[in-house]
Amino acid sequence: MHAIVYHGPGRKAWEEVPKPMLQADTDAIVKVDTVTICGTDLHILKGDVAAVTDGRILGHEAVGTVEQVGSGVKNVKVGDHVLVSCITACGACRYCRDGSYGQCIGGGGWILGHKIDGTQAEYVRVPFADTSTYAVPAGVTDEEVLMLADIGPTGYEVGVLNGRVRPGDVVAVVGAGPVGLSAIMGAKLFSPAHVVAIDLADARLEAAKQFGADITVNPSREDAVDIVRGLTDGLGADVAIEAVGVAATFEQCATLVRPGGTVANVGVHGGPATLHLEDLWIKNVTITTGLVDTYSTPTLLRLLATHQVDLARFVTHRFALGDFMQAYDTFADAAQTRALKVVLTA
């Protein structure tokens, strides 16, 4: 079969590799029908994720058809159409028993396209298939469901739910890439008073409006803190969601939040940021961090199936599986191509 194989920083190829085989009786082999590329894959290709080694097949998001299951798999059957989640869950360890699948210590967590071969391939081996896949509901498209492999639950759990967004809140979202847009969409489910999207790219601010932000701020022209304080009697945002992953945007969130509010960090950081405790200690501010657990995936699938959320609008570009290298170029050059999510179909 063919797959996107990582060969060290800056090097990848769509090349012939052996088809995966069952390794444990809880595994499934899934034929990949639709697959996408994550910002995290670009981080890996920059060499930011040391655990990914030469020869690894990338990718942690897919919708596919189950081709083979191990003898220990009970709920998933050959021919089932399933969402392959970015998080694998053993289902039995301390963290999985707590719903914290992202922290699984029983062999799961974020392993696909990281510690084991991933989904950017014609076939993928999915460990713990019973607890790591979700049935695709009737009446929705593969590409809509694919948005729930990672970005949907990440924006919702790590941004909106960790941030404790409540009705009437003023929510500031710093970074309007796919995960920031997912956080905006998720925040809207709680009827906030305002959602303020902050990004340096005007194209992304336009997208943020389509996803439900009522106020957009480009910090190259406007002062986000002034605008948010103007909406909140000078106090600041109830919730500030960081969806970029650099020091400046984290520090901006700590400035945007009101006393008693929450900073929810979603961004993947590759370096340190300054925590201004000399300002924050007196403000009763809560700061949360997290890797997605995907405990909200069943909820989001129900919201999708009943058309309470529109996930199709994330998809800006479509490719055939064989054009994977071109899809990477399009996704990596989002400033020019205005790509949000690119979808490849077998």
Looking at beta carbons only, is 169 or 331 nearer to Zn ion? Answer: 331
Cα dist. 84→43, 66, 262, 336 in Å? 21, 10, 31, 30
If the CB atoms of residues 108 and 152 are measured against Zn ion, the closer one turns out to be 108
Residue 192 Cβ, how far from Zn ion at the closest point, in Å?
25
* 19 and 1 Cβ atoms separated by less than 8 Å: yes
For the CB of residue 343, give the shortest distance to Zn ion in the complex, in Å. Answer: 14
Cβ nearer to Zn ion, comparing 143 with 169: 143
Q: How far is the CB of 121 from Zn ion (least distance, A)?
A: 16
By beta-carbon proximity to Zn ion, the closer residue of 20 and 155 is 155
Q: How far is the CB of 95 from Zn ion (least distance, A)?
A: 6
Residues binding Zn ion (CB under 5 A)? 38, 40, 90, 93, 96, 104, 106, 108, 150
Residues 6+ apart with CB under 8 A from 97: none
Residue closer to Zn ion by CB (options 106, 290) is 106
Q: Shortest approach of Zn ion to residue 126 CB, angstroms?
A: 15
Measured distance CA(89)–CA(268) in Å, rounded: 21
56 vs 258, which CB is nearer to Zn ion?
56
- Angle CA 245–341–66, to nearest 5: 110
Q: Give me the least distance between CB of 11 and Zn ion, in Å please.
A: 20
Q: Which residues lie below 8 Å from residue 233, measured CB to CB, with a gap of 6+?
A: none
Q: Which is nearer to Zn ion, 14 or 128 (CB)?
A: 128
Query: CB 177 → Zn ion: shortest distance, Å?
Result: 11
In this structure, is the dihedral angle defined by the CA atoms of residues 157, 267, 247 and 336, taken in order, positive or negative? negative
